[in-house]
Amino acid sequence: MEVRDLLKLAQISVDGDDAKTTTWPDITKLDLSNQGLSELPPDLPTALPNLSVLFLSNNKFTELPAIIGQCPNLQMIAFKSNQMTSIHPDALHSQLRWLILTDNLLLELPDSLGGNCRRLQKLMLSGNRLTAIPKSISNCRNLELVRLASNRLTEPPMELLSLPSLRWVALSDNPFLEEIMTLPKLPTLEVLHDLDESEEGTILGQGAGGVTKKLTYQSEPVAIKIFSNSMTSDGLPAMERRILSVVSGLNSSGFVALLGQSKSGYSVTEFLDNYRAFGGPPSMESCSRDVYESEQKLSLEHATNLITVLLEALYQLHSMGITHGDFYGHNILVSHDLNNVKLSDFGAAFFYDTNTAYGTLIEKIELRAFGVLVSEVLLQLDTPTKDEDEAVSVEAYKKRLQQLVDLCYQEESTFESVSIWLKQRALSDMANAFDVTDEKD
């Protein structure tokens, strides 16, 4: 097989090219998913010198091929749902930022992962047979998101969890977590027998974990999440259902209210009318960071409410030994008037033991994710151009938020200490406001 044949499979027209053409420098992305491929042509690096994104999901590769390590500009690789049992050490190179190997048969990772991939930011390895992570992973200091659910890890991957840039991690369905996963007692959820699951409904959202639809229950709209039965890149849908059951008992305004379960066992929640996602999911360019609408602006009041509600929600979760694992703007729902905030999508969430060294690292990881969100809120603050006093207040608040971001990254910080810090600042602001009022009187 030649590269020309691959381009035709990808539906990239080459018929008009001169027969002698052997390089295509304008091609930067190649999607060859679902093509039954098991190998790549040896001239791939020279024929496509500027190839940056390569999708080869749902094919028949048994090894991550060495040839891709010779592609000088390749940054994103996806070999999801192949039959790979190994990774050729030469397949991994220094330009790589995003590696997707979900749903394969990998037994181990080569040391070259840490030796070569110093720029790696996203690593998707859920649904394999990994029993350990190589110690060389400690060299991947730019790694921000890792998915390792549904593997065979018998010990916490401490070198991985200790990485300074790690902010999002999924680890459910691994042997070292089996004991803690049996501890939380689930509340008994009411079965909503009058809910008609055969109703066609309106699709509200769709992802790897399943489909969320709008149905009617007792003349009122509700939302039902119909979970998929297969493993996703985040983990098992069964774990998400279990987490939702526990979260429902927290009675927090920061979570979508769980009303019960359908006769089929699907979660039924309140229907959030006129809500939207706070951010958009990462693009291939932004990699591990959400994309926001440039015109979206937040007032001091809205920013304060959003940060306060979400911090309290995460504090509650981690107090119970639950990490969300996917704390992003695109998993935060806000009402269109921005007065109400809800944390959603628990597909990557899992239980962990808070009284362990790895548990301490898990909390620090999610605290850094919260810091990322605060920094994104900071960039969206609306600064008045006419009212000088308000402009001064916004600048002072920006400094406060930057202090909060810095606090999230400090080694000794916890959700409890950060929550106390924020409440103390709020009380101080109230006291200062009273002092100003007294002076005026």
- Closest listed residue to residue 55, CA positions, set 105, 124, 1: 124
Look-up of token digits 């990485």: 163
Looking at residue 284, its pLDDT comes to 87
Domain 3-143: state its class: alpha beta
Which residues contact residue 225 at a Cβ distance below 8 angstroms, ignoring those fewer than 6 apart? 209, 210, 211, 212, 266, 267, 269
Q: Which residues of the chain have pLDDT under 70?
A: 15-19, 181-186, 229, 385, 430, 432-441
Looking at residue 268, its pLDDT comes to 92
What is the full DSSP assignment across 74-94? --EEE-TTS---EE-GGG--T
pLDDT 10s digits, 282-304: 998 899 999 999 888 999 999 99
Looking at residue 434, its pLDDT comes to 58
User: What's the number of CA atoms in the CB half-sphere (13 Å) around residue 321?
Assistant: 17
Looking at residue 244, its pLDDT comes to 87
CATH tag for 202-270 (out of 3.30.70.100, 3.40.50.10800, 3.30.200.20, 3.40.109.10): 3.30.200.20
What is the full DSSP assignment across 273-293? TTEEESSBPP-TTTTTS-B--
The Cα angle at residue 249 between residues 304 and 233, in degrees rounded to 5: 80
Map out the domains of the chain as residue ranges: 3-143, 202-270, 281-440
Is the pTM higher than 0.85? Answer: yes
Terminal CA-CA length for the chain:
86
CATH tag for 281-440 (out of 1.10.510.10, 2.30.300.10, 2.120.10.30, 2.40.160.20): 1.10.510.10
- The b/e string for 254-293 (b: 16+ C-beta within 10 A; e otherwise) is bbbebbbbbeeebbbbebbeebebbbeebeeeeebbbebe
Strands 29-31 and 168-170, sheet pairing: unpaired
Please determine whether the domains at 202-270 and 281-440 fall in the same fold group of CATH.
Answer: no
Look-up of token digits 């500009």: 73
Phi, psi of 342 (to 5 degrees): -135, 135
Cα 256 off chain centre by: 18
pLDDT 10s digits, 243-268: 888 888 787 889 998 899 899 888 89
